[in-house]
Amino acid sequence: MSIKYRIVLASAVSLLILGACNNKTGNAPAAGDIAATVNGTPISKSTVDQIIGQRSAMSQPDSPETRKVIIDQLAMQMLISQEAIKKNLDKTPEVAEQIDLTRQGILANAFVEDYMKNNPVSDDMLKAEYDKVKAQMSGTEYKARHILVNKEALAKDIIAKLKKNPKLFGSLAKQYSKDPGSRNEGGELGWFDPRGMVPEFGAAVAKLAKGKFTLEPVKTQYGYHVILLEDTRTHEPPTFDQVKPQLAKQLQQQNLKKMIDDMMAKAKIEITAAPAAAPAVSPAAPAKKPE
């Protein structure tokens, strides 16, 4: 689950840029941690490993060829950054600000990783959260068809036809339904939890007996529905062990968000210049109808 305060990982390439720009004061890697040097400035193996790790997360293989390509790219970037430093571009306000923002991003990410590592969620907290999720996911699922039309009179006419021959439901759905997702399937909706439907639809389905259809049109914000209930089943939620990793991540992110909210509330943040309003956009001219 993503959260508003998620902090994007700074790339290892950004780390190299910072290392190049701060070369005079930075700590040199150990002799055994050097993958290459550019005019005497080292590129560490750990930097290459970070980029490999990012690519592995995207299912890109780790191979000698891949590492060679990465080192070549980093060497080229290091060489260009060295030339930029010779021209004192790292001291220009615009570039210095970008470097500072990148540094802030790396530090913020390091803080988040440290928080996640040192603030694990207890099993008691996870089991309490699981009980809440389990209660929400438990219940009955329904398998149904529906025919959606704009007019109540048409819905009543369809119901009259079904009273004479219930087997016509599929063909009537293909003929009359305006739901593009189910019309060609004879109104088939598959299995669903009624709590995921609009309230009027969910309530109507829950009242039907298996094999029966609604004798009155069901009105929702989308129009008028004729609903046929085909089957029901008890929905079994996943086990605790199945969802434990996901719940742990979710709770950690919730705790992180709360902590950052508290930090923001306690911090002295002063906005000295209000953001400029977006320029007014004139309405677009209507499209010309084809002749």
pLDDT in tens, 123-163: 999 999 888 888 777 678 999 999 999 999 999 999 999 99
Give percent above pLDDT 90 in the chain.
53
Question: CA 170 to CA 184: how far, in whole Å?
Answer: 9
Residue showing tokens 């902090």: 7
End-to-end CA distance of the chain: 50
pLDDT digits (tens, 9 = 90+) for 7-32: 323 344 444 444 444 444 456 666 67
| Token pair recorded at residue 189 | 């909706």
Instruction: Quick: pLDDT tens for 250-273.
Output: 999 999 999 999 999 999 988 887
Query: Radius of gyration (Cα) for the chain, nearest Å?
Result: 30
What tokens appear for 104 in the block? 């802030």
d(CA 81, CA 74): 10
Computed over every residue of the chain, the mean pLDDT equals 84
- The torsion of the CA quartet 122, 235, 174, 221, rounded to 10 degrees, works out to -60
Q: What is the CATH number of domain 139-235?
A: 3.10.50.40
CA angle, 268 as apex, 262 and 274 as ends, to 5°?
110
Please report how many Cα atoms fall inside a 13 Å half-sphere around the Cα of residue 16, on the Cβ side: 30
Nearest alpha-carbon partner for 237 in 130, 143, 142, 144: 130
Give the pLDDT confidence score for residue 49 in this predicted structure: 87
CA distance 41 to 20: 8
This prediction's pTM: 0.51
- Tens-place pLDDT, residues 192-218: 988 889 999 999 999 999 999 999 999
Say if residues 59 and 52 touch (Cβ distance below 8 Å): no
Q: What is d(CA 92, CA 180) in angstroms, rounded to the nearest whole number? A: 58
> What are 77-94's pLDDT values in tens digits?
889 999 999 999 999 999
Residue 219, Cα to own-chain centre: how many angstroms?
Answer: 33
User: Structural domain boundaries of the chain?
Assistant: 12-118, 124-129+238-266, 139-235
